[in-house]
């Protein structure tokens, strides 16, 4: 038997022009989340509780695309989704279309622990959230200035745009315009690789 181990991520597909201060901000958040998980593991918390604890922290911080700071739909709203799985017994829970629950990963955990199902979505999931008494917030709690700007860019480009957390629009468009990479047969500039 080995010891404990932990890994976290904040999304793949990063703008090569990411400003240094943004890079440092991201690294600081990842380090904080790692340390949160490490101290939980040192207190012998089970793996399933540690992953929920760490993802809640990442959802609450607006830096990455989840929870507060989520990418916006074409209507400028937030629709979040999350899942959680316990390798011990292979139990799992998932939610989609969440608009008012502060920590979607904890709702996914409740689907796993307190419902007969593995996956609840949209109004059913929000109904379940109310029954379970999880912390709710109005949709605008999840919306950040950065993302309103990014959505504007995406609409001007009539595309689903990169979601790099970068305020420098020209570099993002530049990257989008230059890049010859295809995704699903479409130019990468059409997608936001999260």
Can residue 183 be called a binding residue for other proteins (CB under 8 A)?
yes
DSSP class per residue in 91-108: EEEEEEEESSBS-HHHHH
Q: Smallest gap, in angstroms, from Cβ of residue 133 to other proteins?
A: 20
C-beta closer to other proteins: residue 91 or 130:
91
29 to 58: interface string for other proteins, x by CB under 8 A: -xx-xx--xx--x--xxxxx-xxx-xx--x
Can residue 116 be called a binding residue for other proteins (CB under 8 A)?
no
C-beta closer to other proteins: residue 42 or 170:
42
Can residue 167 be called a binding residue for other proteins (CB under 8 A)?
no
Backbone phi, psi, residue 187, to 5°: -60, 140
C-beta closer to other proteins: residue 42 or 133:
42
Site residues for other proteins, window 60-99 (CB under 8 A)?
A: 64-67, 69-75, 77-88, 90, 92, 94-97
Q: Smallest gap, in angstroms, from Cβ of residue 116 to other proteins?
A: 16
The answer to whether 192 and 71 have CB atoms below 8 angstroms apart is: yes
Q: How far apart are CA 47 and CA 44, in angstroms?
A: 9
What is the four-CA torsion angle of 175, 194, 31, 94, rounded to 10 degrees? -170
Q: Which of 166, 1, 83 is nearest to 193 (CA)?
A: 166
Cα 24 from chain centre: 19
Size of the site for other proteins (CB under 8 A): 95
Can residue 181 be called a binding residue for other proteins (CB under 8 A)?
yes
Count other C-beta atoms under 10 Å from residue 146's C-beta: 16
């Amino acid at each position: 038997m080995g010891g404990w181990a932990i890994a976290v991520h904040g999304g793949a597909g990063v703008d090569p022009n990411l400003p240094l201060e943004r890079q440092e901000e991201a690294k600081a958040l990842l380090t904080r989340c790692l340390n949160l998980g490490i101290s939980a593991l040192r207190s012998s918390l089970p793996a399933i509780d540690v992953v929920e604890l760490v993802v809640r922290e990442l959802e609450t911080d607006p830096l990455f695309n989840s929870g507060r700071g989520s990418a916006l739909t074409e209507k400028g709203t937030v629709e979040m989704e999350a899942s959680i799985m316990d390798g011990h017994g292979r139990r799992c829970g998932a939610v989609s279309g969440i608009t008012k629950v502060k920590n979607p990963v904890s709702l996914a955990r409740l689907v796993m622990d307190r419902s007969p199902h593995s996956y609840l979505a949209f109004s059913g999931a929000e109904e379940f959230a109310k029954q379970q008494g999880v912390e709710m917030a109005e949709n605008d709690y999840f919306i950040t200035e950065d993302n309103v700007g990014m959505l504007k860019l995406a609409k001007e480009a009539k595309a689903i745009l990169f979601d790099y957390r970068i305020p420098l629009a020209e570099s993002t468009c530049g990257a989008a315009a230059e890049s010859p990479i295809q995704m699903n047969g479409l130019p990468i500039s059409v997608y936001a690789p999260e």
